[in-house]
Amino acid sequence: MSPALAERLSKRITLAAVALAMALHLYIDPAAGWAIPAATAAAFLVSWMSARRWPSAAPAIVLALLPLGPALLTMIFRVAALNIFYTLLLAAVLGSLLPRLPLDRWALPRWWTLLLGAWALTLALGWPVMILREAGLRLGTLRDVGALDSWAYLTTPQVESWILYVTITQLVGLLWLDWLCADGARPAHGLWIGTTIASLVAIYQGTVDVSFLSGGPWPGLQRAAGTLLDANAYGTIAAFAGPIAFVSIPSLWRGADPSGPRAAQAAALAINWAGAWMSGSRTAFVCGALGTLLLVYELLRASRRTDAEARDTS
């Protein structure tokens, strides 16, 4: 098999696997009902058609809504169905990426293609095996809420829902990275903007009312969950959003005053760091520390290059 054919097959299998995983998740999750699958189909179609018309703006808007979606959907559907909400939101993300996503190749850097393409193929081929291991060969077991499948006393649909949620999240994330690399001029504005808004909510939760737009165990643990209904997930994306915002903001700035972007960069970094801290997530702290250290390192390197160029021209 030629490398080009292998690359094409891995990309097509990944796309087919994520579509099938989304459909199966909507079928088996006990919280789905009929309204959430209908909303998922509508979100996918609207984002896909919008991205065909506005190929840059539509993905940015969808990605900005992604961190805010769980809290918004909880208010709309009156149920905190976190796993299935992420499938709805990620279906919208996938729809917004498809019009400009290469279908026959990976746009990732070559070594990334080898490693991440192999990981995508592992997920795509592995999740059906895990579903069969949990449910067996009888299709009726897929939705059997009376069958306990785990030492944690979770039902078969709950375990399957978690498997599919983890798979969908990683596969759509890999496809998003591929979409970014297909055109190097696509900064990740939508994601950091939405996450910064979620961080403002987290700061309010941590300083005023920890139950505001939150739920589950997090208010009792005094941990801010932002708008994601999950303090660990929120804290991690906030930790990444701060450095991403810092390097992305200058590309948005059109003013003549050079202090403007610097103030916005510092504010975005501080807001997301404060939110990540209030989430109480140790993973977020590690990710934020690494991201900030790398950011400082690159700033120092850029400063040295600027000084060297100034000396050369003087």
Q: What is the pLDDT of residues 229-280, one digit of tens each?
A: 999 999 999 999 999 999 888 887 765 565 668 888 899 999 999 999 999 9
For the chain, the farthest-separated pair of C-alpha atoms sits apart, in whole angstroms, at: 78
Phi, psi of 55 (to 5 degrees): -65, -20
Phi, psi of 207 (to 5 degrees): -110, -25
Q: What is the reported pLDDT for 227?
A: 93
User: Predicted confidence band at 186 (pLDDT cuts at 50, 70, 90)?
Assistant: low
Q: What is the reported pLDDT for 40?
A: 94
User: Predicted confidence band at 21 (pLDDT cuts at 50, 70, 90)?
Assistant: very high
CB 210 within 8 A of CB 224: yes
Question: DSSP 3-state helix, strand, coil percentages of the chain (rounded to 5)?
Answer: 75, 0, 25
Q: What is the reported pLDDT for 32?
A: 66
Phi, psi of 155 (to 5 degrees): -75, 165
**Amino acid at site 272:** N
| Mean pLDDT of the chain, nearest integer | 86
For the chain, the structural domain boundaries read 1-184, 187-314
User: Predicted confidence band at 187 (pLDDT cuts at 50, 70, 90)?
Assistant: low
Neighbours of 258 (CB within 10 A): 9
Q: What is the reported pLDDT for 49?
A: 96
Residue 185 above 60 pLDDT?
no
* Residue 26: its H or E element: helix 3-28
CB 272 within 8 A of CB 249: no
Structure token pair of residue 182: 């297909």
Nearest-angstrom CA–CA distance, 234 and 246: 18
Q: pLDDT tens digits for 72-100?
A: 999 888 887 778 899 999 999 999 999 98
Bigger pLDDT: 72 or 145?
72
Q: What is the distance between the terminal CA atoms of the chain, rounded to a whole angstrom?
A: 57
pTM (whole model) above 0.85: yes
Structure token pair of residue 37: 């699958």
Residue 310 above 60 pLDDT?
no
